[in-house]
Structure 1
Amino acid sequence: MDLIAAENTAETTPATTASADAPLKVAVILASNREGRFAPVVADWFRSRTDAHPGIETDLIDVAGLALPTALSYRPGPEDRDLLGEVSARLAAAEAFVVVTPEYNHSYPAPLKNLIDWHHAEWQAKPVAFVSYGGVSGGLRAVEHLRQVFAELHTVSIRDTVSFHNAGALFDDEGRHRDPAGADAAAKSLLDQLVWWGRALREAKKVRPYGS
């Protein structure tokens, strides 16, 4: 996937100039980097649903493809741009986020927290939704932790989620959900809410930039 270079400021991104009916630019963040991970199966399934939604354009950001440093600046700024690469511009350009996450030890993966903590304004006044997977809990404990983190960053979390309990048994060898009706309905509800919030916040920021 080609990366798109852009200035790492909310004021210069397309998110502030899009028309009311323009497709919502959604960054789908793949949160796992473990060897043998199940994440691509879930992400591919979800993106097949976003591809069918007329109000959405997606950009897949895979933490396994990032090389972010782990020693954080106190507050990352322009001088850190070379360290962060082009992921910052992609997050800034997004108008909404969907995090696809497993549950590791009752919470979410460390590479995702690192990606979150290296950014600040890129998250603000945008909606974030969650697609989780795991064992009995379906990754929902990771989601509940993420809601607290994103609230601190002034991000609006979407109430409805898509969660896959005992995820490995739900998909066939081709990555197709064996009984998709319930998951499809959950994905539609999530995407409809995400688009509503994304467009509402887009228009609100045209009237008054967030924080002013």
Structure 2
Amino acid sequence: MPPPTASTPAYAILRDRLRTTILSGAWPPGTHRTLGALALEHRVSISPVREALLSLEGEGLVEIRQHRGAIVPLLDAKLFADLYDLRGALQALMARRAAECATPAQLEGIAAHAAGFAAAAERADAAEALRHNEAFHAAIDSAAGNPQAQAVVAARTAFVNAVRLRLGYGPARLQQAAAQHETILAALRARKPEAAAEAAFGHVESAKRDLLERFAEEQGRTPEK
């Protein structure tokens, strides 16, 4: 994210600080903090704290509780499944639209990120692969020309990515994802909206299953089928 400037609102600076705190685990899931405590800690008034928390609630990173401030949701399989279900539906929608209206230049940009992901997958570089994965999907979303849907997906991305980086990928998942990117790209280039939507949805479903398996392993449980 871009660094704050002199014109950056106080709530936006605080929002970014709190997001980092949550994603780093310094504000543990299941714990709450009051508006007053946060204002005192960050030396700001209550107003920017409230605005920052409302923004983070929109990203799914906190839940605001009346008279209790905000709580970071407990991480569970349902939370991840819900986030991926939302992402799958929206990215299928945007892949369908991108197949209809992406320009040649936009298709080349999407292809470049697919290639970058594949190269990172070959090196087993999870962080670089994740960066190209998000750029690949963001390029498709941009080509779709639906900023509202794009904003919803982007707002839920940081949380999932932070968990993904911590848990990693299952065996052969990076190679599987690289192949799925190529399938999506081929459908976009062929101007086949339904094939693009189906491929995009299947890609997200595969990612969901993999993350749920990693999460279940971390929790010492057998993943639900």
If each structure's strand is expressed as a fraction of its own residues, which one has the higher value? 1
Task: Specify the structure having the higher radius of gyration (Cα).
Answer: 2
Per the TM superposition, whether the score is higher than 0.5 is no
If each structure's helix is expressed as a fraction of its own residues, which one has the higher value? 2
Q: TM-score, normalised by structure 2?
A: 0.33
Q: TM-score, normalised by structure 1?
A: 0.34
